[in-house]
Amino acid sequence: MQIDIHNLSFAYGHRSVINNLSLSLNPGDYMVVKGKNGTGKTTLIKCLLGINPVKAGMIFYNHQDITNFNKWPQFGYVSQKFEDFNYEYPITVNELLAVYSLKPTNQNHRLKMLDQLGILEIVNENINNLSGGQLQRVFIARAMLNNPEILILDEPTASIDKLNTEYFYRTVNELHAQGITIILITHNDSLEHLNYSHVLSMYQDMTYSFQSREKCDPAEVELL
Amino acid sequence: MMLSFFSDLFAYEFMLRALAAGIVLGVLAPLIGSIVVVRRLSFIADTLGHFSLVGISASLFLSTLGISLLFEEPLFLGLIFSVVGGLLIELFRRSYKNYKEISMVIVISLGTALSAIFFSKARATGSIYTYLFGSILTVNNYYMYAILITALLVGLLFIFFGRQIIAVSFDETSAKFLGINVNIFQIIFMVMLSIVVSVMLESAGVLLISSMMIIPVAAGMKVGWSFRSTLAIAIFFSEMSVFFGLWMAYSLKIPSGAAIVSVNIVILLVVTLIKRIVQKSQIAKMNKEKS
């Protein structure tokens, strides 16, 4: 999916968080967003997802303005914590995935997805009984369930151990190889094993650097 | 006492009608209640009940003035006000995004104040007691039709859009990626809930509607292991409370809403107690195996 951001600015009330950000991604690009806490990474994602209404600047998906965009099923999204999600009401992993699937009767697809993420054994488990890491992988499965064209990941490995983090990023690399556009916010993870094509560095003074992988200094990016 | 209840149940039409209404509401209340619980809006049925009371009190006030409405039953004006109340909640919820309960306090206050004003100016206020505490034994044919039509509508909504309703209720953000217009869906659900509340008004009573919707679900959550099982268990508990509540209301001459809710509370307490005992014995067993 082609993504164009033109002079995007966003403020919570009077507190400006993003100022004049512009960038373009081609279909199949893999952008890593790096930056310290409070630099506006999650705010940017919320703008891209239409959760934060864009008032200054513009976002285009395949040349279509976000305000008229309605092809949201082409998106997959994983957050470090889904603030709205009801984590306490009983629902099994299989039920949850069926609810968020565009093809709810295709159980085999769901099982395959869980198997890929190494959590097949919890398919009939109540989500209340899952560990943070297991739950996060269920959300990752949910995001990938409808074969999205673009996958937006906001610190998806925050509650996963090191081994599963590596496993997860391998899966992301595979999805990228299939042509899916990836936007990944990461705070602590090493970029060493990621097949990213671009890096957006966000700084606390609301300046940005958007570079292709070849042009950026990996050591400098790791430090962000 | 139970035997005479059974013989009277089939001897009197009003008893059978009450049982039929109770059985339908026994499914309807926890079905819609489970969605209300998932959305963390348990207080909402109470609010809508209070607001539909405005319609009922306005109906009584208008009849005092000699103004006859299209429908004589106060239920219909109650239904309209319940829907208005639901839409008002949605409206206020959007302006107080992080304080969802504020919208309900505003609507409940407005509803109570307007009801009190209309009741004070109405002459025939004998039925207030019924609307506050419920009387399933006095339901008439009109009311029965209203319940059946509502049950049919809710049933169809869940058959065709059940998955979407659950998706929006669990996680609004992710429901968007199914192509669901979350705002429109929330309004449809609110209208549906308002209709259910208004048809439950006569049998459950304004003050007890939310209990009939929420408590069976709360008990179901204690023992359910999935969404489906929790709903099935909640419906089972709800039907039990309707049956035993009806029996209590008839035998002890007490309001049916109060009787049904009392049985619901007893079920919740018993389920909570049993669950605690089972959990403790399981922990003890595990500790024994470890040592």
Q: Do A89 and B178 touch (CB under 8 A)?
A: no
Residues of chain A below pLDDT 70: 188-189, 218-224
A-chain residues within 8 Å CB-CB of B227?
89-92, 95
B226 to chain A, closest Cα gap in Å: 4
Say if residues A193 and A41 touch (Cβ distance below 8 Å): no
Q: Which of A86, A98, A102 sits opposite B170 (nearest CB)?
A: A86
Q: Do A146 and B166 touch (CB under 8 A)?
A: no
Identify the burial level of B163 via C-beta atoms within 10 angstroms of its C-beta, where 0-12 means exposed, 13-18 middle and 19 or more buried: middle
Rg over CA atoms, chain B: 20
Say if residues A160 and A137 touch (Cβ distance below 8 Å): yes
Which is nearest to B32 in space by CA: B167, B152, B193?
Answer: B193
Mean pLDDT across the stretch B196-223?
88
With vertex at residue B93, the alpha carbon angle to CA B91 and CA B97, rounded to the nearest 5 degrees, is 135
Nearest CA in chain B to A97: B167
Tell me the pLDDT tens digit for each residue of B119-160: 888 876 667 777 777 777 778 888 888 899 999 999 999 999
Q: Where are the beta strands (DSSP E) in chain A?
A: 3-12, 15-25, 30-35, 56-61, 64-65, 75-78, 150-154, 181-185, 198-202, 208-212
Report the complex ipTM.
Answer: 0.85
Q: Which of A70, A79, A126 sits opposite B226 (nearest CB)?
A: A126
CB atoms within 10 A of CB A169: 22
pLDDT of residue A152: 93
pLDDT of residue A223: 61
pLDDT of residue A136: 83
* Alpha carbons B261 and B150: distance in angstroms, whole number: 22
Nearest CA in chain A to B228: A91
With vertex at residue A179, the alpha carbon angle to CA A178 and CA A181, rounded to the nearest 5 degrees, is 125
Is any Cβ of chain B less than 8 angstroms from the Cβ of A102?
yes
Tell me the pLDDT tens digit for each residue of B178-198: 888 888 888 888 889 999 988
* Alpha carbons B56 and B79: distance in angstroms, whole number: 9
Q: Do A100 and B37 touch (CB under 8 A)?
A: no
Nearest CA in chain B to A76: B177
Give which of A87, A99, A125 to mutate to test B binding, by max B Cβ within 10 Å. Answer: A99
Tell me the pLDDT tens digit for each residue of B10-46: 788 888 888 888 899 999 999 999 999 998 888 888 8
Q: Which of residues 7-36 of B touch A (CB under 8 A)?
A: none
Element (H, E) at A103: none
Identify the burial level of B3 via C-beta atoms within 10 angstroms of its C-beta, where 0-12 means exposed, 13-18 middle and 19 or more buried: exposed
Flag whether pLDDT at B210 surpasses 70.
Answer: yes
Is any Cβ of chain A less than 8 angstroms from the Cβ of B93?
no
Tell me the pLDDT tens digit for each residue of B128-138: 777 777 777 77
Mean pLDDT across the stretch B71-99?
82
Q: Do B171 and A91 touch (CB under 8 A)?
A: no
**Strands A150-154 and A181-185, bridge-based pairing:** parallel
Q: Do A90 and B225 touch (CB under 8 A)?
A: yes
> Predicted confidence band at B90 (pLDDT cuts at 50, 70, 90)?
confident
Give strand pairing partners of A199.
A32, A211
> Predicted confidence band at B111 (pLDDT cuts at 50, 70, 90)?
very high
Flag whether pLDDT at B61 surpasses 80.
Answer: yes
* Alpha carbons B220 and B231: distance in angstroms, whole number: 7
pLDDT of residue B165: 92
pLDDT of residue A73: 87
Q: Do A77 and B174 touch (CB under 8 A)?
A: yes
Q: Which of B163, B169, B179 sits opposite A73 (nearest CB)?
A: B179
pLDDT of residue B266: 96
Q: Which of residues 175-204 of B touch A (CB under 8 A)?
A: 175-179
What integer best gives the mean pLDDT of chain B?
A: 87
Nearest CA in chain A to B176: A72
Flag whether pLDDT at B173 surpasses 80.
Answer: yes
B209 to chain A, closest Cα gap in Å: 21
Q: Which of A70, A84, A95 sits opposite B172 (nearest CB)?
A: A84
B36 to chain A, closest Cα gap in Å: 11
Q: Do B178 and A73 touch (CB under 8 A)?
A: yes
Q: Do A72 and B179 touch (CB under 8 A)?
A: yes
